[in-house]
Structure 1
């Protein structure tokens, strides 16, 4: 009976030592989450019905961490070139990050009303560290002129949550938000490079629903698992001596007794 009891003591001692050496992070603390995708459509178009597609090139920090789609082609609504998305997590620091890019964008969704939107590249990215969350949207060759007066004053580096109201004969039929940055209830940050919302209850509306180009969501950052320091480290070493030395000595005595027998 002495051997099983000794094994139990050894196991308990190692668990206690491991808990101290790894640190005092609570068991529920987990690394943060991150995700990204290139395009997503959820629309109900007048005279056409439901048009839902995507998310294209979806990636998460849990995997797949990197995804690519050759193109997106929804006739009369959206046509793009390559779509890329990636997400990552650093378990040592708890930091997370994600990024999505959509190339050769041609958005014809509003062309029947006022015009369209085009860009050589539409990007969104975010990052979360122990210091907080940051996000940005980037554009190359962004052209909003086809949206008419709604596009006036929007440059290649628009401020967060720049909103453009698209109207038909004085009635708003859609809203376009570029560099949309949303603080979510769970503490995470979502960056949508372009978010188009159709206002379905407007007279002459083309429909209802949402279309998002290049979306990245991060955080908040997870907690790292540091090594214990100071008193905790010495206490851990003390427990190791308390459990480890007697167990080792008992094993040596048993080996000696067997050899002598």
Structure 2
């Protein structure tokens, strides 16, 4: 009888532990993801080989969470100074943050040129949803000034008109099928006799946020405590009864 009670206590104890663990787990085991990179290019230049570069300095919430390159050089297209990316996740809150930053950009595309002091993309995912923004400091291209804080999906045509040679989408924001948000600070599309293709400078993706991970609480906690009580009381009585039998015997 004593062995039977101990075995029953062990089984119920495992069930109690499982209930406590279940009470502590989030609703979903898959956490929110975030990623970022500094530059990518997919171009065809007349008289030259195809250019397929990047994503450079990639980071991800699953690691590495930060990345850095001292400079980027794509001959006849782009040069930069320091470029960094970061993607982090707070497992306690489920919040995801990603960002990319590229300094001292010099561009030559489609017969036009320009320079930018700093290009940054930011993306945040919280329980309230996803949000993003971009910052462009001291930027010009094709003789046009680039806004410092462009609204989402601002398009600049160079030259201005219905058939631009180069099109710049600033603070490009794309909602992906999986619910994540991608923010490209600058997405350049070129279609000319000299070149065709795409260049992205500073890209950040995040979300959706992961469920927060609470301490064991609510129904799971009470079920666990109840099961632990169900184990402790009969096993305790069995041990006491066994000791009394030994003493009186």
TM-score class normalised by the smaller sequence? 0.7 to 0.9
Structure-2 residue corresponding to 1:124? 121
1:52-71 matches, within 5 Å, as 52-71=52-71
Cα separation, partners in 2 of 1:213 and 1:249, compared to 1, 3 Å: farther
Write out aligned runs for 1:220-239 (5 A).
220-227=208-215, 229-230=217-218, 232-239=220-227
1:160 matched to 2:152? The reply is yes
Structure 1 unaligned runs (5+)?
A: none
Find 1:135's aligned residue among 132, 135, 138.
132
Q: CA deviation at 1:86?
A: 0.5
- Contact conserved, 2:22 with 2:220, CA < 8 A, in 1? no
SS at match of 2:228: helix
| 1:48 to partner: Cα distance | 1.0
Residue 189 of structure 2 is aligned to residue 197 of structure 1: yes
User: Across the two proteins, how many residue pairs are aligned to each other?
Assistant: 246
Confirm whether residue 77 of structure 1 aligns to residue 80 of structure 2: no
For the 8 Å contact 2:94–2:127, the answer to whether it is kept is yes
- Separation in structure 2 between the aligned mates of residue 52 and residue 189 of structure 1, nearest angstrom: 24
Q: What is the CA deviation profile of residues 77-132 of structure 1, one whole-angstrom value per residue up to 9, with x for unaligned ones? A: 1100111001100111110000100011011123xx2x212111111011110111
CA distance in 2, matches of 1:252, 1:52: 77
Structure 2's unaligned 5+ residue stretches are: none
Shift in alpha-carbon separation, 1:251–1:105, aligned structure 2, 3 A: farther
Residue 29 of structure 1 deviates from its aligned partner by 4.0
Other structure's SS at 2:165 match: strand
1:219 aligns with 2:222: no
Question: How far has the Cα of 1:190 moved from its partner?
Answer: 0.8
Distance 2:148 2:21 in 1: 53
* Alpha-carbon contact 1:17-1:239 (below 8 Å) kept: no
Aligned equivalents of 1:160, 1:80: Cα separation in 2? 24
Which of 15, 18, 22 aligns to 1:19? It is 22
Q: Is the 8 A contact 1:56 1:83 kept in 2?
A: no
**1:183 and 2:196 equivalent?**
no
- The Cα offsets for residues 211-240 of structure 1, whole Å up to 9 and x where unpaired, read as 100000010111112235455543332122
1:169 deviates by 10
> TM-score if structure 2 supplies the norm length?
0.86
